[in-house]
Amino acid sequence: MKVAVTGANGLLGGEAVAQLAGRHEVLAVGRGPCRLAAGPFAWADADLGDGRSVEQALRAFGAEAVLHAGALTDVDACEREPEAAWRVNVGGTEQVARACRALGARLVAVSTDYVFDGTAGPYGEDDVPNPRGAYARTKRCGEEAALLLAPDCAVARVAVVYGGRPGAKSTFATQVVEKLSRGEPVKAFSDQQVSTTLAANGAAMCLELLLKTAYRGVLHTSDATVLDRVEFARRIARRFGLGGEIVPVKTAEAKLLAPRPLQGGLRVERAATVLRSHRPLAIDEAMDRFHAEWVLRKTA
Ligand SMILES: NC(=O)c1ccc[n+]([C@@H]2O[C@H](COP(=O)([O-])OP(=O)(O)OC[C@H]3O[C@@H](n4cnc5c(N)ncnc54)[C@H](OP(=O)(O)O)[C@@H]3O)[C@@H](O)[C@H]2O)c1
What is the per-residue pLDDT across 258-283, written as a single tens digit (0 to 9) for each?
A: 999 999 999 999 999 999 999 999 99
Q: Check whether 300 has a pLDDT greater than 80.
A: no
- SS3 state at 66: strand
Active site annotation includes 162: no
44 φ, ψ (degrees, to nearest 5): -125, 125
Cβ(161) to ligand 1 under 6 A? Answer: yes
226 φ, ψ (degrees, to nearest 5): -100, 130
Q: 22: which DSSP letter?
A: T
Kindly give the distance from the C-alpha atom of residue 160 to the centroid of ligand 1, in angstroms, as a whole number.
12
Angle at 195 between CA 77 and CA 271, to 5 degrees: 115
Mean pLDDT of the chain: 97
Residue nearest to atom 40 of ligand 1 (CA): 31
Cβ(11) to ligand 1 under 6 A? Answer: yes
Per-residue pLDDT tens digits for 65-98: 999 999 999 999 999 999 999 999 999 999 999 9
Q: Check whether 51 has a pLDDT greater than 90.
A: no
**Confidence at residue 165, expressed as pLDDT on a 0 to 100 scale:** 86
Q: Measured between alpha carbons, how far is 76 from 230 in angstroms, rounded to an integer? A: 21
Higher pLDDT residue, 298 or 55?
55
Q: What Cα–Cα distance (Å) separates residue 107 from each residue in 84, 117, 269?
A: 23, 26, 22
Catalytic one of 123, 135, 162, 215: 135
pLDDT band at 120 (very low <50, low <70, confident <90, very high): very high
Check: CB of residue 230 under 8 Å from CB of residue 186.
no
Cβ(67) to ligand 1 under 6 A? Answer: no
Q: Measured between alpha carbons, how far is 269 from 266 in angstroms, rounded to an integer? A: 9
Q: Measured between alpha carbons, how far is 47 from 44 in angstroms, rounded to an integer? A: 10
Phi-psi region of 149 (alpha: psi -120 to 50; beta: other; left: phi over 0): alpha
Check: CB of residue 120 under 8 Å from CB of residue 263.
yes
Kindly give the distance from the C-alpha atom of residue 30 to the centroid of ligand 1, in angstroms, as a whole number.
10
Spatial CB neighbours of 229, under 8 Å, sequence gap ≥ 6: 172, 188, 189, 190, 192, 194
Single out the residue of 117, 124, 282 nearest to residue 197, CA to CA: 282
**Confidence at residue 168, expressed as pLDDT on a 0 to 100 scale:** 82
What mean pLDDT comes out for the span 30-37?
96
Per-residue pLDDT tens digits for 137-167: 999 999 999 999 999 999 999 999 999 988 8
Cis peptide before 122 (omega within 30 of 0): yes
Q: Quick one: how far is CA 33 from the chain centroid? A: 21
Kindly give the distance from the C-alpha atom of residue 10 to the centroid of ligand 1, in angstroms, as a whole number.
5
Residue nearest to atom 7 of ligand 1 (CA): 112
Cβ(73) to ligand 1 under 6 A? Answer: yes
